[in-house]
Amino acid sequence: MQGEVTSIAGPVVDARFEAGLTLPPIGHALRVRNVRGEPIMLETVGHLDRDQIRTVALGDTQGLALGAAVTATGGPLRIPVGNQVRGRIIDMHGHPLDGGEPLGEPSLPLCRPSRPLIDRVPARAVFETGLKVLDLLAPIPRGGNSGLFGGAGVGKTVLMMELMHNTVHRHHGATVFAGIGERSREARELWLEMADANVLPSAVLVFGQMNETPGIRFRTALAALTIAESFRDDARQDVLLFMDNVFRFVQAGNEVSGMLGRPPSRVGYQPTLATDVASLEERISSTPHAAITSVQAVYVPADDITDPAVAELFNHLDAFLVLSREAAAEGLYPAVDPLRSTSSLLQPEIVGTRHAEIAAGVRRVLAKYEELRDIIALMGVDELSVEDQRAVSRARRLRRFLTQPLSVTEQFTGERGVHVSTPETLAGCEAILRGECDEVPEDALYMGGTLEELLARRRGP
């Protein structure tokens, strides 16, 4: 089926087909060429009349002319899957970005229904990361969705890369990374680091970079998810799915919505915000045979956690890791807010009674410290009761114990990253809560591994 371009308004392209022909259904892909002969993919988003459709271009429309021939592909957008994509860096069309061989079949459509509820397995196992503050207060669920929430410059991408560094080495399945609106510099750095760590052969990197059209950025997340689903369903392998940054997925959807003339909703977001987010998040699920464990970085505009896009993403996540600008300013890295971060797994029947009780004790002490901070700033610690002074002392030591050097920042800090198991984290926090470290200087517990290693470091050789 062929038609011709009748209107071009940036990435929005209208096309007309002969009267009497069945128009391409919404979601189907079309192909057109610009004056230089370069192909551009279009996706049908609406029917304007019996013979006219509206599409969004998944490529630059510069050089596209009115009257250009439009050819229907007969189906939706597809992405190559299977073993051929392992170790490759591709875009949402499946075109290589690493200079390698072109990819072919097998392929799967980008837009697919989510798994039926009867086929899903709820997240009930902990995925250990080796990061003390995460494993203690916001354990990441295996087969669940976790979000890293934070404003600009608080360390979302650094923490995401550290999680990749700590988990990919110990993970025996596939790893898929979606770079949504990534800077080219960040994309190349990630590629080189994964190559140096020798984990690239089992990973797939899908990029829709910042200079791409909003249609490409909007579909990049679905392209990566489709590849992850193929590993889960066809190869029956556990998959680690990393997305950086999901807010840019929402932002791209908002740009597409605005270009199509849809009226804005709350705070200027697209009226289809809830549907756009659900179409992505509800497909990330686990089956009895394999699991998709997702970790998603989410930019928080102006540090406003109540932003509609951020609030909508909260509804679909099992673990929330909220990053704090105040913690970053104090040098407490990872800059995770221990009181606002939590996980659905933090229940005695899942993580165990001891873990749940220690986590609750840590939160209680840290919450008490937050209550007293204003009083301390005005009157000083000496004006507090003995019990409150003890709580403040232990809270400050706990907060410093939960910091640790990161492997991905070693070239900048000169400190080698450490991996701390959950039992070691629990033992250290339990000792601090019991008062065994009340005489230990706060700085001695800063930026290290286990409590035994920190105390040994203080004693010296």
User: What is the Cα–Cα distance from 193 to 131, expressed in whole angstroms?
Assistant: 20
Catalytic residue among 54, 88, 156, 232: 156
Give SS3 for 312: helix
Concerning whether 31 is annotated as a catalytic residue, the answer is no
Respond yes or no: is residue 183 known to be catalytic. yes
- CA-to-CA distance for 449 and 458, rounded, in angstroms? 13
List CB contacts of 118: < 8 A, sequence separation 6 or more. none
Q: Are strands 239-244 and 292-299 parallel, antiparallel or unpaired?
A: parallel
- Which residue blocks in 96-142 are alpha helix, DSSP H? 132-137
Catalytic site residue 156? Answer: yes
Distance CA 438, CA 457 (A): 17
User: Rounded to an integer, what is the distance from CA 365 to the centroid of its chain?
Assistant: 30
Three-class DSSP category at 204: strand
Other C-beta atoms within 10 Å of 346: how many?
A: 19
Token output for 103: 């990819």
What's the CA gap between 396 and 187, in Å, rounded? 37
Residue from 170, 183, 188, 236 carrying the catalytic annotation: 183
Q: Report whether 205 contacts 266 (CB < 8 A).
A: no
Task: Select which of 43, 128, 162, 182 is catalytic.
Answer: 182
Residue 80: how many other CB atoms lie within 10 Å: 23
Report residue 191 as tokens: 């590629």
- Which tokens belong to 239? 């998959």
Q: Quick check: 127 and 171 in contact, CB under 8 A?
A: no
Residues whose CB is less than 8 angstroms from the CB of residue 98 and which lie 6 or more positions away in sequence, other chains included: 88, 89, 90, 191
Tell me the C-alpha distance between 240 and 294, whole Å. 6
Candidates 356, 293, 358, 297; CA nearest to 323 is 297
Distance CA 15, CA 2 (A): 10
Beta-strand relationship, 39-47 and 28-33: antiparallel
Structure tokens at 90: 């591709």
The residues carrying an active-site annotation are: 156, 182-183
